[in-house]
Structure 1
Amino acid sequence: MSKEVLIELYNRQAKIIYRYLVKYGCRKEDAEEIVQESFIKAIQHLDGVDERKLPSWIFTVALNTYRNHLKRKSIRTELSIDGGGFISRLAAEGDFTEDILVNESATLVRDCLGKLKDGYKDLLILKYEMELSYKEIGRLLGLSESTVKTYLYRARNEFKRLWREEYGRSSIG
C-alpha cells in the first residue's frame, strides 16, 4: 500500500474519528493522541491490512484504543450529545414522538444510549449526532449501506425498547 493512500485516508477520515471520539466522551487531547496512534499503527501495518478495509480498520483501532484507555483509568465515559439536535434527528427516522424526546433532558437520552451495546451506540451517534450518510458510516465500519440501514433499524428499536423499560413510556413509537 502506498503512502499516498494513507495520506488521502488521513485527510478524509482523521477529523471524523476525532469528532466521533469527542462525541463519545473522550477528552480532546486524548482524542488527538488516539487518532495519531491509530494512524501510526496503520503505517506500521501497511502491508498487513487490505487497502479496501483500511478505513474501518483504523476506526476500529481508534475505538479499541479509547476503550482500553477507559478501562486502564477506570474512567466513566460521558456521551456528548447536543440534546435537541440528536433527539430531533433520531425522532424523525425512528418512529418516536419527537415531543416526548425533545422535552426530556439530554441526560436521560445519554443514560439510555449508555445502556446500548457499543455497536448500536456507535451507529446512532454516527448517524444522528455526526450526521454521517449511510455510505460514510459503511466506509468507517467496513459495512455495506444496506447493512448499515439494517443495523440502524435494530439500534433504533433497541433504544426505543430500553427507553420504554427505563422511563415507562409506551407512546414513543
Structure 2
Amino acid sequence: MPVTNQIVVRCRKGDARAFRELYDAYSRAMYNICLRMTGHAPDAEDVLQEAFVQVFNNLSRLESDASLTAWIKRIVVNQCLSWLRKKKVRFEDVEHHDKAESPDVDESEHALTVSAVKEAIGQLPDGYRTVLSLYIFEEYSHREIADMLGISESTAKTQYMRAKEKVRQLVKLKTKEV
C-alpha cells in the first residue's frame, strides 16, 4: 500500500500523528493555492486551516481509488471559492461591457522576472486573480471555472484575458522602474 494510503487509513483510525503527516505532506502546496486565490497571507492561512478541517472531517468519503492529491486540492479550491463568495467578490459580466481585443504584444521585449509577475498577480483585483489562478495554476478549463464561479464561460474567458493584460501592464511598469 502506498504511503499516502497508509496515512489515510491511520487518519481514519484517529491517529493524531497521521493527521500531522498528511498535513505536512500537502499543506505547503495547498497554501500556495490559497495564497494565489486570496492574495493575502493571513487570509490564505485561514482558508487553508478551514480546508484541512474539511479534509479531516471527510476522509471517510474518500474513495480508495481516488487521487488523494486531487481530492484535497478540490476541497482547498472550494474553500477558497467559499471565502471569495463571503467576501462578495464580483466578476464583470461581459454582456454589459465591450469585448476587449487582446493587443499584439511582443513579449520578448519585456524582461519578465518571476518576482515581478508574482507581485503583479498579487495586485490584481480578486475576480481577475481568481480566474487567472484557476486557469493557469490549477489548470481548470474556462467552462469549469464558469461553473465553479456561477458566471458565463465568456465572462470567465474575458476575466482571464483582462487579468493577463493587467499583469503585462504591471510588469511593464515594474521593469521600467528598475
Q: What is the TM-score normalised by the length of structure 1?
A: 0.47
Q: What is the TM-score normalised by the length of structure 2?
A: 0.46
Q: Which one has the largest radius of gyration?
A: 2
